[in-house]
Structure 1
Amino acid sequence: MNGLMQWFKSSNKMKRWMLLILVGILFACYGLAKILVMKEISFKEVGGVIIVFVIGFVSIILGLIFLNKRTLEVLIESTDERMENKKNVNVKSLIFNKTVYDKGPNIVVIGGGTGLNTVLSGLKNYTNNLTAIVTISDYGEAASNSRKELQMLPLGDVKDSIVSLASKEGQIDKLFNYEFTTGKLRGLNFSDIYFSAMRDINGNFEDSIIKSNEVLNMIGKVIPVTLDEMKIVAELANGYIVDERSKIPEIVSEKITKINRILINPTNCRPAPGVIEAIKNADCIVIGPGSLYTNVIPNLLVNGVTKAIKESVAIKVYISNIMTEPGQTDNYSVSDHLNAIIDHCGKGIIDYCIYDTGEIIPEFIKKYNFEGQDLVEQDIEKVKGIKFLQRNLSMISDEHIRHDPNLVASSIIELICDDLKYQDKQNDPQYLMLNTKLKEEKRINKIKKNMERKSKKGIEPKEKNSSKKGKSKFSNKYSDRIASIREADEKARKKNEKEFAKKEKKGNKRTKKVVEKDIQKNKKRTSQELREEMLKKLENSKLK
C-alpha cells in the first residue's frame, strides 16, 4: 500500500498519460459494447456511439505517444544530472543539449583552489570537453596521517577539481571528505584510500586520475600539471627566501614586505602526460581566478606550459580576482595581477581579461577590510595589448564574496562566440548551437533569480504578520545589511575592548607600583609618628 502511495506521489509526469490511456480504453470499450449489445439502433445513436469510440481511440493513441515521449525524457534526464530542476524540458531540448555538450568547445582551465572549481562548475553546463590542469605543490609540507600512511601525492586540488566536474557533485564531495573515526581505518580519508587503491590497480597516479574520470562519471577530465615533486619558493622584496608554500603569506605579512618573484624547485619540472596536448587542442584557455603566487603562476612555470599556451591558436582568458589576498597580493590592482603573470611568463600569454564591476554591498567589503583584504582596483588603462571585459561576476555565498559560476562561464562562452563570429563562422553549427545554449542558460538563470526574489518576498509578510509590532519597510528591505553592519561593528568593538584591556592591564601594573610605594611611605610615616607620640608621653610622665 505504501509503495502504491509513493508511486502516486512521484512527479515524473507519466501517470497523467496512463490515466488518459485508461479513459480511452473505457470509452472505446463502451462504444463497442453498445454496438454489440443493442439489437436495433437508430441513426442518432450510431452517431453517438461512433463519437464515443473515436474519443476513446484517439485518447489511447495520444496517451501512448506522450507516454513514450515522457519515458524518453526521463531516460535522458537520468543520464545527465545537468538537466535536473529545469523547467519546460522536452525531448527536443534534451537532445539539443546533449549535442551541445558533446560538440562544445575544448576549454582548458589552469589553476587551483576554489577559483578553479568555480569556473569548472559553471563551464560544465556548456560543454563536455573540459580539461582542468591543476597544481600539485604541497611537497615538503606537513602531511596528514592519511597521506603518510598511504604514501600519497598531495592531491588536494586534484580532488576538489574532480568533485567540481563530477555529475553528482554534492554526494562525491561528502564521500571524498569523509574521514573514518573507528577501527583500523581511524584517521584515514576516503579519497586517499580511493586513490591509493586506483594507483595499485593501474600501476601509477597518472592512470589512476585518468580512470577516475570514467569511474566517477565526470564531465571533462582532470590532469595534474606535473607528477614531479614540485615545491614553490618565494623570493621576497627584502631578499628573504621562503621555501614552504603555506608559510609565504605569514612571512610576507610578518616582514611587512611583498613577493618579488615565485620560483619552482626543481626548475625543470616536466609536464604530466596530456598537459601540452590539451593546451594545443584547446579552443579557449582560461587562467585563474585563484591565489596568484601559489595556484596560478606555478602552473605556468612548469617546463613547456607557457610555450604551449603562447603557440596555441586558442583565445587566452584571465579571470581577475575580486578581492586582494593578505600576504600575497596586498593592495594589488588588476594591472598588478596581469603584470605579475607577464613578468614571470612574458607577453602573449593573455588575450582577454574578465574583471568584476566591484558592485558589492559595502558591509561585506568592510568585513574583508578587518582581515586585511580589499577590492582589486580596476586600473585597466595601465595595461596595453590586452582586451578587457567588465562583468558583474560577484556573489555572496556563506557570508563570503565569491565568483558566480554561471556568470563567469557565460562571460567565457560569450567571448568564444564573439571569436567564432569574428572568424566569419556565423553559419557554423558549433557557433549556432553554442550561441543558442548561451541565450537559454541566461534565460534560465534570470528565471532562477526572479524565483529567489519572489521566495524571499513571500517569506517576509509571514514574519511581519507573526509579530504584533511588525517591522518597518526599511528594516525588511535592509535587514541583511543591518545584520552585517552590526556584525562588523561587534567585531570592531571586541577588537577595541581587547586593545583597551591590554592598555588597562599595563596601566594597572603601573598604578599598583605607585600605590605600593605610597603604602610603604605611609607605613614609614606612621611608625615615626608613633615614636614621637611615645617619646612625648614618656617626657610628660617624667615631668609629673
Structure 2
Amino acid sequence: MKTYRIRKPKIVVIGGGTGLPVILKGLRSESADITAIVTVADDGGSSGTLRSSVNIAPPGDLRNVLVALSDMPQLYEDLFQYRFREEDEFLANHSVGNLIIAALSEMKGSTYDAIRLLSTFMHVEGNIYPASEEPLTLHALFEDGMTVSGESKIAKTRKKINHVYVTNTNNTDKPKAARKVIKAIEEADMIVLGPGSLYTSILPNLMVQEIGEAVSKTEAEVVYICNIMTQKGETEHFSDANHIQVLHQHLKTKFIDTVLVNTEKVPENYMDTKTYDEYLVQVIHDFKGLRDEGCRVISADFLELRNGGVFHDGEKVVEELFRLVFGAKY
C-alpha cells in the first residue's frame, strides 16, 4: 500500500545493471517522484549486438528499468523479458523487450523517443532517460598505462583501473546529456547512485561532463549505495571507502553526502559462483576512510539472499532513503 504525502520527494536514481531495478521497484511502492538515468555504454550480449546492428543506444538496462517502474500484468512483463534460447540461431540470447526497443528506436529515430513512448504504453510511474541520446563507448586507462575500449572488455583485463571516460560511439562530438536529464538533477531532492558496477554502470553516466557537473553542484542529498560484493576486474580488494575515493577522484570533488553500507555477513559458501561468476568476496568496511571522504555513514542489514545470489533488500534501502530525504528537506 502506498503512503501519500503532501508532496512527493523528487528522487533521481543513476546507474545501470541489475542493481538499479531493485531500488526502483522499492521506490515505486512508495510515494516518490522517480527519475531513472540509465547508462548507454553497455556493449555486451544482446544490447551490444543490437547497438551495432541497428545503430541505437543499448536497450538492455533501459528494458530492465521499464519493467521495474511498470504496472503491466505479469504475463506482459514475462513476455517483455523473455530471452530466446541459444539454439534459436539469429534470435539467440535476444530478449523480446530489447527487440521492441530497437524497433521503436528505428521507427522514431531515437532511443530517447522510443523509451518515452514505451513508458506510456507500459504505464510507467516516473521518468526514464538514457544518460545520453547517443550510444557511448566506455574506455578504461589502467595503472600500467594500457587502455581498453568497450564496457564488456574492461573487467576481463583483470588490471587495476586508473580511471574511465566515455566518448560518442558514432562521432567525435563531445558526449551530451539527454533531454531533461540535467533539469531532473537540478530539481531533485535526492540523487541516488547505485547499487551497481562502479566503473561500468555508475561512472559511465557521471563521465558525461554535464551530468557529472550537475551531480557535483546539486544541493540535493547525494547518496551512494555501496555494493555488497567486490567485482572481478573492477573492485577487487576494495573497501567501501575505496568506492567513494574512486567516485571523488573522477569528479575531482567530494560530492557524496551519505553512504549506505550493508553490515550483514554473507554466509560462507552461499554464493552460486557459476551463475554469479563476476562477484568475489564481501566488500570490507573502512568507516574512518568514509568519514575522511566527508560522508555520513548509515550501516545496517541491507542484505537479501535469493537463488544463490546476494542482493540489496529494496524495501530496507528505500525505507532508509525516505528517512534521509524527509530529514534533509522537510
TM interval, shorter chain, is 0.7 to 0.9
The residue that corresponds to 2:162 in the other structure is 260
CA RMSD of aligned residues (A): 3.0
Letter in 2 for 1:373: L
Q: Does structure 2 conserve the Cα–Cα contact (< 8 Å) formed by 1:358 and 1:375? A: no
Shift of 1:371: 7.2
Distance 1:153 1:367, change over 3 A: closer
Measure the CA separation in 2 of the matches of 1:401 and 1:392. Answer: 13
Measure the CA separation in 2 of the matches of 1:155 and 1:397. Answer: 26
- Identify the structure with the greater helix proportion: 1
Shift of 1:349: 1.9
Distance 1:180 1:358, change over 3 A: closer
The residue that corresponds to 1:535 in the other structure is none
| Larger Rg over CA atoms | 1
- Structure 2 SS opposite 1:395: strand
The residue that corresponds to 1:111 in the other structure is 15
Measure the CA separation in 1 of the matches of 2:224 and 2:106. Answer: 38
Q: Does structure 2 conserve the Cα–Cα contact (< 8 Å) formed by 1:108 and 1:282? A: yes
Q: Which of the numbers 271, 280, 287 marks the counterpart of 1:380?
A: 287
- Structure 2 SS opposite 1:213: helix
- Structure 1 SS opposite 2:133: coil
CA deviation profile, 1:50-77 (whole Å, cap 9, x unmatched): xxxxxxxxxxxxxxxxxxxxxxxxxxxx
The residue that corresponds to 2:270 in the other structure is 364
- Is 1:408 the counterpart of 2:317 in the alignment? yes
The residue that corresponds to 1:283 in the other structure is 189
Letter in 2 for 1:258: K
Unaligned runs of 5+ in 2: none
- TM-score of the two chains, using structure 2 as the length reference: 0.87
Letter in 2 for 1:265: T
Letter in 2 for 1:160: N
Q: How does 1:310-325 map to 2 (within 5 A)?
A: 310-325=216-231
Q: Does structure 1 conserve the Cα–Cα contact (< 8 Å) formed by 2:13 and 2:37? A: yes
Letter in 2 for 1:221: N
- Identify the structure with the greater strand proportion: 2
Measure the CA separation in 2 of the matches of 1:148 and 1:372. Answer: 28
Letter in 1 for 2:287: I
Distance 1:322 1:141, change over 3 A: closer
Distance 1:148 1:177, change over 3 A: farther
Measure the CA separation in 1 of the matches of 2:277 and 2:314. Answer: 26
- Structure 1 SS opposite 2:269: helix
- Structure 1 SS opposite 2:134: coil
- Is 1:125 the counterpart of 2:29 in the alignment? yes
Letter in 2 for 1:374: V
Distance 1:169 1:129, change over 3 A: farther
Q: Which of the numbers 241, 247, 265 marks the counterpart of 1:341?
A: 247
Letter in 1 for 2:267: I
Letter in 1 for 2:284: E
Measure the CA separation in 2 of the matches of 1:161 and 1:167. Answer: 12
Letter in 1 for 2:18: T
Shift of 1:216: 0.4
Distance 1:132 1:337, change over 3 A: same
CA deviation profile, 1:388-412 (whole Å, cap 9, x unmatched): 1111101101111111111111111
- Structure 1 SS opposite 2:256: coil
Aligned length: 321
Shift of 1:250: 1.4
Q: Does structure 2 conserve the Cα–Cα contact (< 8 Å) formed by 1:111 and 1:133? A: yes
Shift of 1:234: 0.9
- Structure 2 SS opposite 1:279: helix
The residue that corresponds to 1:160 in the other structure is 64
Shift of 1:155: 1.1
Distance 1:145 1:250, change over 3 A: closer
Unaligned runs of 5+ in 1: 1-82, 84-96, 426-544
The residue that corresponds to 2:136 in the other structure is 230
- Is 1:307 the counterpart of 2:213 in the alignment? yes
CA deviation profile, 1:199-238 (whole Å, cap 9, x unmatched): 3554432222112221100111210000223111111111
Measure the CA separation in 2 of the matches of 1:311 and 1:145. Answer: 36
Q: Does structure 2 conserve the Cα–Cα contact (< 8 Å) formed by 1:140 and 1:231? A: no
Shift of 1:192: 3.7
Q: Does structure 1 conserve the Cα–Cα contact (< 8 Å) formed by 2:57 and 2:134? A: no
The residue that corresponds to 1:77 in the other structure is none
- Is 1:135 the counterpart of 2:35 in the alignment? no
Q: Which of the numbers 193, 204, 219 marks the counterpart of 1:298?
A: 204
Letter in 1 for 2:224: Y
Measure the CA separation in 1 of the matches of 2:109 and 2:241. Answer: 45
Letter in 1 for 2:195: P
Identity %: 29
Shift of 1:286: 0.1
State the structure with bigger RCO (CA 8 A, min sep 6), 1 or 2: 2
Q: Does structure 1 conserve the Cα–Cα contact (< 8 Å) formed by 2:110 and 2:133? A: no
Shift of 1:331: 0.5
Q: How does 1:349-360 map to 2 (within 5 A)?
A: 349-360=255-266
CA deviation profile, 1:64-112 (whole Å, cap 9, x unmatched): xxxxxxxxxxxxxxxxxxx4xxxxxxxxxxxxx4744x83211000000
Letter in 1 for 2:164: I
Distance 1:239 1:350, change over 3 A: same
Distance 1:371 1:238, change over 3 A: same
Q: Does structure 1 conserve the Cα–Cα contact (< 8 Å) formed by 2:22 and 2:314? A: yes
Q: Does structure 2 conserve the Cα–Cα contact (< 8 Å) formed by 1:104 and 1:126? A: no
Shift of 1:169: 7.0
